Amino acid sequence: MQLQFVGCGDAFGSGGRANTCFHVTGRTVNFLIDCGASSLPALKRQGIVCDDIDLVLITHFHGDHFAGLPFLLLDAQFSRRTRPLVIAGPEGIETRLAQVMEALFENSSKTRQRFDLSVVALRPEEKRSFGAVDVTPYPVVHGDSGGPFLGYRIETEGRIIAYSADTEWTETLVPLGRDADVFIAEAYYYDRIVKNHLALATLEAHLAEIKPKRLILTHMSDEMLGRLDTLGYTAASDGMIVEV
């Protein structure tokens, strides 16, 4: 199974990185985790065939994780996609998707797709299955607007991929990431503690509980990007491919 970091940046384009979007493929699966505003050009730049994607998992409704969906759906319409697509995310996703579609492309939310589109709301700690992809959402903490906020534990093809999403430290990250083959974790700062975001030093204090087989850091500020050579952990970069 392959994990590709289509985009691993923050909302401000720190380091010139694209917004959050991860692509996972395997023998029977092809899905995205988040679809930030810059995702469609990043997907095309990396040669990923968007019409082959079966599922998009959205963690929350901030633009750097969610606002690429109108572009993805419009592109699918014009490419004459026929393959069904599922978009799943926090409760309220159907309303939020219609709102962002209308904000970016008037009347687009009323256009009938040429393909079957399902929009599915996920409840915290209720596992859902999408074909060979089992998803357990966990509530995380990322402020008051743009939520609900979910991190994901994804089980597929005998592997576990966990993603913290954007969050400050919360105890739900322990079961979310425990023993995961890959734990993708936000590390916005090194040791600066701020609300709604995770510092690497805080995460390190809990790694003995989480025990991921591999940790990959993402969504880093300019301050963190300046420390990449000293971190001692794998840091994501746009286009990076990881075999899981």
Do the beta carbons of residue 7 and residue 18 sit within 8 Å? Answer: yes
Q: Which long-range contacts (CB under 8 A, 24 or more apart) does 157-163 make?
A: 157/1, 157/26, 157/27, 157/28, 157/29, 157/132, 159/1, 159/244, 161/3, 161/24, 161/33, 161/244, 162/212, 163/22, 163/33, 163/59
22 part of a folded domain: yes
pLDDT tens digits, one per residue of 26-80: 999 999 999 999 999 999 999 999 999 999 999 999 999 999 999 999 999 999 9
Give the confidence band of 94 by pLDDT, cuts at 50, 70, 90.
Answer: very high
| CATH code (residue 124) | 3.60.15.10
Q: Does residue 101 carry a pLDDT above 90?
A: yes
pLDDT (0 to 100) of residue 112: 84
Q: Does residue 24 carry a pLDDT above 90?
A: yes
Do the beta carbons of residue 217 and residue 200 sit within 8 Å? Answer: yes
pLDDT tens digits, one per residue of 72-90: 999 999 999 999 999 999 9
Structure token pair of residue 130: 């999408």
Q: How far apart are CA 92 and CA 96, in angstroms?
A: 6
pLDDT (0 to 100) of residue 233: 94
Q: Does residue 114 carry a pLDDT above 90?
A: no
SS3 category, 146: coil
Do the beta carbons of residue 165 and residue 59 sit within 8 Å? Answer: yes
Do the beta carbons of residue 179 and residue 162 sit within 8 Å? Answer: no
| Average of per-residue pLDDT across 157-162 | 98
Write the CB contacts of 224 (distance below 8 Å, at least 6 apart in sequence). 187, 188, 189, 190, 200, 217
pTM, two decimal places: 0.97
244 part of a folded domain: no
Q: Does residue 110 carry a pLDDT above 90?
A: no
pLDDT (0 to 100) of residue 113: 86
Do the beta carbons of residue 62 and residue 147 sit within 8 Å? Answer: no
In single-letter form, the type of residue at position 26 comes to G
In single-letter form, the type of residue at position 138 comes to Y
pLDDT tens digits, one per residue of 135-157: 999 999 999 999 999 999 999 99
242 part of a folded domain: no
Domain of 70 in residue numbering reads as 2-236
Element (DSSP H or E) covering residue 175: helix 173-177
Q: Does residue 111 carry a pLDDT above 90?
A: no
243 part of a folded domain: no
User: Residue 160 — φ and ψ, nearest 5°?
Assistant: -125, 120
Give the confidence band of 174 by pLDDT, cuts at 50, 70, 90.
Answer: very high
Q: How far apart are CA 62 and CA 13, in angstroms?
A: 14
Closest-CA residue to 97 (of 72, 115, 114, 76): 72
As a residue count, the chain comes to: 244
| Average of per-residue pLDDT across 188-213 | 95
| Average of per-residue pLDDT across 167-190 | 97
157 part of a folded domain: yes
The total number of structural domains that make up the chain: 1
| Average of per-residue pLDDT across 97-120 | 93
